[in-house]
Amino acid sequence: MKNLFDVNGKVIVITGASRGIGRAIAECFVDLGAKVYGTGSKESSIEWMKGTDITGYAADCCVDGEIQSVLQSIHQKEGKIDVLINNAGIASNTPASRMKDDEVNRIVETNYISLFRSCQAYYKLQKNVGGNIINFASVLGLIGSPLAGVYSGTKGAVIALSKALAIEWVRNDFRVNTICPGLVETDMTAMITDKPLVKDQVQAAIPMKRMGLPEDLLGATVLLASDASRYMTGTSIIVDGGMTAQ
């Protein structure tokens, strides 16, 4: 029987692949035989990719045209991009009452506008053959949390956008799905993991009694990238240790 989860030979592009979840995903797909391209915001962030089978591109997702240019370059080289994984994002722990416009704009630009541009550019490149988009959102796009008002808003918007694009582009044989991680131990959650007392409190509130690890997101990502999910579009997979089940 054919391996439904086979991604060998697929061309996969991952934004925000420089660290954390993005890096773990990039390394996973290389191990599974895919042709992997990863982006980071600057040259130093993709330095680790040299000497690996991951091809790195420095691209600031907030600069209009940079991600589009990267996608076009990869498409010209490979003749296709089988899967686009939009993982780039930033967080904040500034109280909503004290958040300045520049921080609001930076979060919205990074987490939502640049992701939309990436989806749009990919659609134009693959319009005649179809494609597969996996957008990383967050459980905070589904539930409320203090100190995450704007971040939560952008992640909720990513979930809604993905559903809308899934419906609009299905006629062109596109699938668009989201993955919603819970609290995962990465640089982005250092404000929790660097404080043992805070981390203990947070983990006590998670049914599985631990924060996630980047590797915990691999199964859901491979599922959505493979033919095993060929009848799935417009859906969100929650990977959160039970946070949203309470």
Share of the chain above pLDDT 90, in %: 94
Q: What is the pLDDT of residues 162-200, one digit of tens each?
A: 999 999 999 999 999 999 999 999 988 988 899 999 999
**Which architecture characterizes domain 11-185+217-239 according to CATH?**
3-Layer(aba) Sandwich (3.40)
168 vs 88: CA distance, rounded Å: 23
Examine the pLDDT at 133 and tell me if it is beyond 90.
yes
72 vs 123: CA distance, rounded Å: 11
Joined tokens for residue 231: 């009848």
- DSSP one-letter code for 12: E
- In this prediction the pTM is 0.97
Q: For CA atoms 53, 80, 137, 91, give the dihedral sign.
A: positive
- Side-chain-side CA neighbours of residue 54 (13 Å): 28
Domain boundaries, the chain: 11-185+217-239
Are 133 and 122 in contact by the 8 Å Cβ rule? The answer is yes
Q: Is 112 a catalytic residue?
A: no
Are 183 and 206 in contact by the 8 Å Cβ rule? The answer is yes
Which of 57, 112, 122, 151 does the annotation list as catalytic? 151
What pLDDT score does 163 carry? 98
Which residues contact residue 88 at a Cβ distance below 8 angstroms, ignoring those fewer than 6 apart? 15, 16, 22, 39, 41, 61, 110, 114, 115
Examine the pLDDT at 37 and tell me if it is beyond 90.
yes
Examine the pLDDT at 1 and tell me if it is beyond 80.
no
